[in-house]
Structure 1
């Protein structure tokens, strides 16, 4: 997913470097740039294939896609409670490893985190 505010379109670099074939998982849903890169590549004679691993790419970019298509943030809530539905009053590990790992991974991409104990 590309933003002109941060870096120039990669399609220009791919054309300049003489790339012959490009595989794209999903096209950028941003209406400011959507489809222009693919059109540039094809106009330059580069073979472009889209949709490879599309569902994985959509999941990977879920927060961006939600924001760019709706203008609203992607919100994730992680709540850990005891088996009887209570919150822990002080820092403690309530979730098992299988739940902690995805939760900790998602923290890297969070804009805000609220903790209560």
Structure 2
């Protein structure tokens, strides 16, 4: 009986911590930008298939903020505030991902959608 009480207390504390550490919409925007910059950093401009994609990649590497604003305008982001976690759907450019936010972390099922070439 005592173990069950401790288990219930532990689960209640974990739920309380999850509720208070759920990422906000501002944190979602910051994470989207970080994911985009991470993907941009791993992109090699010379691997692009056409001149326009090469020029766009070079521009993005030169001015990260302006490039992110262009990409962000093409994304549809929905934030669903659940009691213990947040569910975030990101779609655009023919792709979509779903992320979950809990305990100040994000867990996504893919990469942030960006315009291809």
TM-score range, shorter chain: under 0.3
Pick 1 or 2: higher relative contact order, CA cutoff 8 A, min separation 6: 2
User: Which structure shows the bigger proportion of residues in helix conformation?
Assistant: 2
Higher Rg of the two aligned structures = 1
Q: TM-score, normalised on structure 1?
A: 0.25
User: Which structure shows the bigger proportion of residues in strand conformation?
Assistant: 2
